[in-house]
Amino acid sequence: MMKYSLLLLSISSIALATPIFMSGDYAKALCEEWNKTSQLVDQLGKSESWIAVPERKIFIYREDCGDKNQIQLAIKNEEGKAICAYGGPAKDKRGKDDFLMYAETKRWLEMGRKEYGSMKAMMLGRLKFEGPKGVAMKNMGPFEAFLDMIDNPPHDASKCP
């Protein structure tokens, strides 16, 4: 009986430790993933269109969960690197140099599993995007890498944040 109780406690701890997809804890883990992805850190850090602004914010949410549950990544340009300095609940207002992306949960997960790329997602209306489109177009490789890593941090997508 003791072993069974410990097993249940162990499983419960793991379940509690898994952040809800697109929650503040998930955003923190996504920020850590960003900083491990050289295509984001190095390529964006050298992109003239990206580094024209010292910090860009990316706001993201699950459309089926509502826009009140947005998360935010703050990407700072530091010594030729695009470093994620903050990942958590949205705390700032979106400015003209910032990005907003939203999609239904199932679409985010499809993109994260690399079932299709960003261009197809936007062309079919699966991914909605607002922000400086010229900057995004000049940085499609890093943008694709960002969408590919969406599914990387462990998460629970069965409920809304």
- Write down the pLDDT at residue 12: 42
* Res. 108: pLDDT tops 50: yes
- β-pair type (128-130, 99-103): antiparallel
Q: Which residue has the higher pLDDT, 76 or 12?
A: 76
Q: Is residue 142 domain-resident?
A: yes
- Write down the pLDDT at residue 122: 83
Rounded Cα distance, 120 and 74, in Å: 26
pLDDT tens digits, 52-93 = 999 999 999 999 999 999 999 999 999 999 999 999 999 999
Structural domain that includes position 123:
19-151
Q: Is residue 31 domain-resident?
A: yes
**Mean pLDDT, the chain, as a whole number?**
90
- For the whole prediction, is pTM greater than 0.85? yes
- Residue 123: pLDDT band by 50, 70, 90 thresholds? confident
- Write down the pLDDT at residue 4: 45
* Crossing angle between the packed helical segments 105-112 and 140-148, to the nearest 10 degrees: 110
130, 99 contact by CB (below 8 A): yes
* Res. 45: pLDDT tops 70: yes
Q: Is residue 13 domain-resident?
A: no
Q: Is residue 54 domain-resident?
A: yes
Q: Is residue 160 domain-resident?
A: no
Rounded Cα distance, 55 and 53, in Å: 6
Rounded Cα distance, 88 and 83, in Å: 15
- Residue 120: pLDDT band by 50, 70, 90 thresholds? confident
Q: Is residue 9 domain-resident?
A: no
User: Which ranges in the chain belong to alpha helices (H)?
Assistant: 2-17, 24-35, 38, 44-46, 48-51, 105-112, 118-123, 133-138, 140-148
Q: Is residue 64 domain-resident?
A: yes
Q: Is residue 14 domain-resident?
A: no
CATH of the domain at 99: 3.30.1050.10
Q: How many independent structural domains does the chain possess?
A: 1
Percent of the chain with pLDDT over 70: 90
